[in-house]
């Protein structure tokens, strides 16, 4: 039987580049997998149901909450986001290192429930740079961008609760740092 994989809580402000880091990391290390979350937000152009997220209605999401289907879930900027429980447990049991790309409230829930997890907080080089990246993405309205920037300011206060923090100035360097963290804990 394979050893159980590591569970990695991967948090950072919207726009900080978590998605880009994850994409490179998954290409480089085939022992790592990203958990696909469920959300009630609308898909962005190019996002596919079941690949980036499982896109659910509020009613469907709340039904899953009452069925105890989530490992963790939270409300972030007016939408629900949650990690489906069964998929994560299956991947861990198969020996994969599973990344949960989730915001702070969910991250803290996982640390409480699963203290052996590894937690990594991704920081922007500066708040100005974060705002530039978030605006540069041009997928959100001004109102949503402002909500996300406010959320980022609150979230950064929780970075110290995480076991590691990584500054995403250069993506390749950030990926290397994260791979080092994983091999150190394996």
Query: Smaller CB distance to ligand 5GP: residue 73 or 162?
Result: 73
Instruction: Report residue 40: phi and psi, to 5°.
Output: -100, 0
**Residue 4 binds ligand 5GP, judged by CB under 6 A:** no
> How many other β-carbons are positioned within 10 Å of the β-carbon of residue 31?
12
Site for ligand 5GP in 31-50 (CB under 6 A): 37, 41
Q: How far is the CB of 134 from ligand 5GP (least distance, A)?
A: 10
One residue of 34, 102, 118, 145 binding ligand 5GP per CB under 6 A = 102
Work out the burial of residue 85: count CB atoms within 10 Å of its CB; fewer than 13 is exposed, 13-18 middle, 19 or more buried. Answer: middle
One residue of 61, 88, 99, 101 binding ligand 5GP per CB under 6 A = 101
One residue of 40, 83, 97, 119 binding ligand 5GP per CB under 6 A = 83
Distance (Å, whole) CA 34 – CA 40: 19
Q: Which residues pair with 38 in a beta bridge?
A: 54, 82
Q: How far is the CB of 131 from ligand 5GP (least distance, A)?
A: 15
Instruction: Report residue 118: phi and psi, to 5°.
Output: -105, 140
Residue 124's nearest CA partner among 181, 175, 174, 172 is: 174
Site for ligand 5GP in 52-81 (CB under 6 A): 72-74, 76, 81
Interface positions with ligand 5GP (CB under 6 A)? 14, 37, 41, 72-74, 76, 81-83, 101-103, 105-106
């Amino acid at each position: 039987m394979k050893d159980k994989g590591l569970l990695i809580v991967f948090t950072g402000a919207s726009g900080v580049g978590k998605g880009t880091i994850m994409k490179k990391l998954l290409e480089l290390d085939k022992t790592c997998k990203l958990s696909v979350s469920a959300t009630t937000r609308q898909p962005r152009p190019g996002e596919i149901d079941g690949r980036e997220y499982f896109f659910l209605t509020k009613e469907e999401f709340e039904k899953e909450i009452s069925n105890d289907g989530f490992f963790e879930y939270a409300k972030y900027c007016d939408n629900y986001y949650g990690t489906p429980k069964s998929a994560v447990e299956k991947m861990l049991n198969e020996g994969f290192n599973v990344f949960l790309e989730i915001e702070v409230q969910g991250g803290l829930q996982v640390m409480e429930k699963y203290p052996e997890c590894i937690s990594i907080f991704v920081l922007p080089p500066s708040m100005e740079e974060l705002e530039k990246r978030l605006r540069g993405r041009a997928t959100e309205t001004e109102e949503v961008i402002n909500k996300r920037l406010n959320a980022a300011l609150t979230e950064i206060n929780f970075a110290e609760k995480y076991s590691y923090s990584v500054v995403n100035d250069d993506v390749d360097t950030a990926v290397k740092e994260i791979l080092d963290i994983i091999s150190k804990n394996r």
